[in-house]
């Protein structure tokens, strides 16, 4: 519910929310819950994200054999599902066994594709580069920059070709090639933060599309950096109280703020 508390501090997650819909930043920054309940589809994403943390171990131990990877993924998935209530006790407190089983089944259905893609990448790039790109040297490090007025926690930092770079885990859909525009902004924001902390240029980041076992390298351009800075300024304004105009977004149908969003829009339309 509304806590009516605004803060000027910007998190990378605010930028991601902004790329979905600027109005979502407004509601989330005022204490409205982004998600109301854990559905089977959300649970599937949580399970697959957890499963991806085992990819380095699976890749390390596997021989180049699809059955072998498949079996290891199956074993890991069973372990993840057992551990999940211990990892997310608050979030999963009200999840029924039907939803849990449905979420688990949906995640399990993704295993053949994940196994095939991991195997394909192993054959194409080799085990050592794959391990370097997947294995964290730091997990969920806190990064911040006063100058950017930005903070955030990437899923991990990996050391690839002698450079520490951020890697983000994405449980959603995966584009045919490259990364989604919003993921490019997400990656660019962490690159800027890591550069601010390390004082060195960070040339690229990784995006792991965990529901597919696909890893994409993203080289950020000046235009991406410019876009991050622009969005930071927009988010600052929104957090200070500016409500962006309502546009029909593809997320509206499943948006937890829709009720407030529509009523606030009709209220505003009476005055303007």
Shortest distance, CB of residue 36 to ligand SF4, whole angstroms? 13
Specify the residue for token string 């085992």.
54
C-beta pairs of 116-123 under 8 Å, 24+ apart in sequence: 116/66, 116/213, 117/212, 117/213, 117/214, 118/55, 118/58, 118/59, 118/69, 118/213, 119/64, 119/65, 119/66, 119/69, 121/213, 121/214, 121/215, 122/59, 122/62, 122/64, 123/64
Among the listed residues 54, 91, 236, 249, the single contact to ligand SF4 using CB under 6 A: 249
Count Cβ neighbours within 10 Å for each residue of 12-51 and write b for 16 or more, e otherwise: bbbbbbbbebbbbbbbbbbebeeeeebebebbbbbbbbbb
In the list 24, 49, 108, 110, the residue contacting ligand SF4 (rule: CB under 6 A) is 24
Name which position in 88, 180, 204, 251 contacts ligand SF4 (CB under 6 A): 251
23 binds ligand SF4 (CB under 6 A): yes
Among the candidate windows 7-15, 21-29, 153-161, 177-185, which touches ligand SF4 by CB under 6 A?
21-29
Which among 33-41, 115-123, 176-184, 257-265 is the span making contact with ligand SF4, rule CB under 6 A?
A: 257-265
The conformation of residue 15, written as its DSSP 8-state character, comes to: H
Site string for ligand SF4, 26-45 (x = CB under 6 A): -x------------------
Q: 21 or 158, CB closer to ligand SF4?
A: 21
Binding segment (CB under 6 A) for ligand SF4, from list 4-12, 20-28, 64-72, 170-178: 20-28
B/e letters for 144-177, b = 16+ CB within 10 Å, e = fewer, are beeebebbbbbbbbbebeeebbbbbbbbeebeee
Least separation, in Å, of the C-beta of 65 and ligand SF4? 44
Site string (140-179) toward ligand SF4, x via CB under 6 A = ----------------------------------------
Query: Which one of the spans 45-53, 169-177, 214-222, 253-261 is the region binding ligand SF4 (CB under 6 A)?
Result: 253-261
**Two tokens at 127?**
């085990």
Q: What are phi and psi of 168, to 5 degrees?
A: -120, 145
What is the Cα–Cα distance from 164 to 172, expressed in whole angstroms? Answer: 25
Q: Is 255 in the site for ligand SF4 (CB under 6 A)?
A: yes
Give the binding-site size for ligand SF4 (rule: CB under 6 A): 12
What does the binding site for ligand SF4 look like in residue numbers (CB under 6 A)?
21, 23-24, 27, 246, 249, 251-252, 255, 257-258, 261
């Amino acid at each position: 519910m509304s806590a009516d508390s605004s803060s000027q501090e910007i998190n990378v997650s605010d930028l991601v929310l902004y790329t979905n819909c600027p109005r979502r930043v407004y509601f989330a920054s005022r204490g409205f819950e982004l998600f109301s309940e854990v559905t089977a589809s959300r649970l599937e994403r949580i399970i697959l994200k957890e499963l991806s943390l085992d990819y380095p171990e699976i890749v390390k131990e596997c021989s180049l054999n699809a059955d072998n990877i498949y079996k290891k993924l199956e074993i890991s998935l069973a372990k993840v599902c057992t551990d999940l209530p211990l990892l997310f006790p608050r979030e999963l407190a009200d999840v029924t066994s039907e939803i849990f089983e449905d979420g688990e089944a949906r995640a399990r259905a993704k295993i053949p594709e994940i196994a095939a893609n991991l195997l394909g990448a192993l054959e194409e790039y080799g085990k050592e580069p794959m391990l370097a790109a997947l294995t964290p040297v730091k997990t969920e490090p806190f990064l911040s920059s006063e100058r950017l007025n930005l903070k955030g926690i990437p899923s991990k930092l990996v050391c690839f070709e002698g450079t520490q770079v951020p890697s983000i885990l994405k449980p959603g859909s995966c584009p045919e090639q490259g990364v989604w525009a919003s993921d490019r902004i997400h990656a660019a924001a962490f690159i800027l933060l890591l550069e601010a902390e390390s004082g060195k240029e960070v040339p690229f980041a990784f995006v792991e599309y965990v529901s597919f076992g696909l890893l994409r390298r993203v080289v950020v351009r000046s235009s991406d950096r410019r876009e991050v800075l622009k969005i930071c300024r927009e988010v600052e304004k929104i957090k200070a109280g500016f409500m962006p105009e309502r546009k029909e977004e593809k997320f509206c149908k499943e948006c937890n703020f829709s009720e407030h969003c529509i009523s606030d829009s009709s209220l505003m339309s009476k005055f303007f």
